[in-house]
Amino acid sequence: MDIFLDSADLKELEQVADWGICDGVTTNPSLIAKQGQDFKEIVGQIAQKIDGPISAEVVSEDATGMLKEAEVLAELHPNIVIKLPLTPDGLKCCKILSGRGIRTNVTLCFQPLQALLAAKVGATFISPFIGRIDDLSTDGMQLIRDIRQIYTNYGFKTRILAASIRHPKHVLEAALAGADVVTAPFAVIKRLYNHPLTDQGLEKFLADWKQSGQSSIV
């Protein structure tokens, strides 16, 4: 399963990239707005730091406007993936872009039939929003399982990108459910490697090494 960082913060990007675990980045208008910089400038900077798919979202609501924005975004860098809303116009735009060989990420998916439609128009990624479904006392992870079953049944190539991730358990469950990608905020990704027994074990190993009287291996 690929791990994407859901952020437009360049400091966070640099740190996760340095760990070697970041396969791509997802952004949205809200994340970009927090940075207080020009949209295209931020996207370009992200592309310089992460060698993988970078989702950049359109803001127009009609297909004509979406296509114009998509053309501008696609020119910024070869790794740009056009992020489109799961609306009739978004699906129309996705069909056109897919026909041109431009990768797409259809976002704001909340039920399996939406994912089916996105796959039929050639979406590269579908982004089910797990956390927001859980917020309504519904099982968000079941959506991942349902989409996985539909895509397997019919051989759709669209990749399932689990989004709206709130905690490490979401990441684990998405992996077990067969998601192709999970995109998570920096705070969640940092917690993926944390475990008290790892910390305790390392502390014990280092203490034993110090008692051996040796200062260095090299």
| Catalytic positions, written as ranges | 83
Q: Which of 116, 69, 134, 172 is closest to 106 using CA atoms?
A: 116
Per-residue b or e along 109-120, where b marks 16 or more CB atoms closer than 10 Å to that residue's CB: bbebebbbbbbe
Residue carrying structure tokens 């490490």: 168
Residue 217: Cβ-neighbour burial (10 angstroms; 0-12, 13-18, 19+) = exposed
Find out whether 85 and 108 touch, Cβ atoms under 8 Å: yes
Q: How would you label 131-142 residue by residue, b for 16+ Cβ within 10 Å and e otherwise?
A: eebbeeeeebbe
Are residues 61 and 89 in contact, defined by beta-carbon separation less than 8 angstroms?
yes
Tokens representing residue 155 in the block: 């051989």
How far is 108 from 86, CA to CA, in rounded Å? 6
| Close Cβ partners of 119 (under 8 Å, ≥ 6 residues apart) | 126, 150, 151, 154, 156, 157, 158
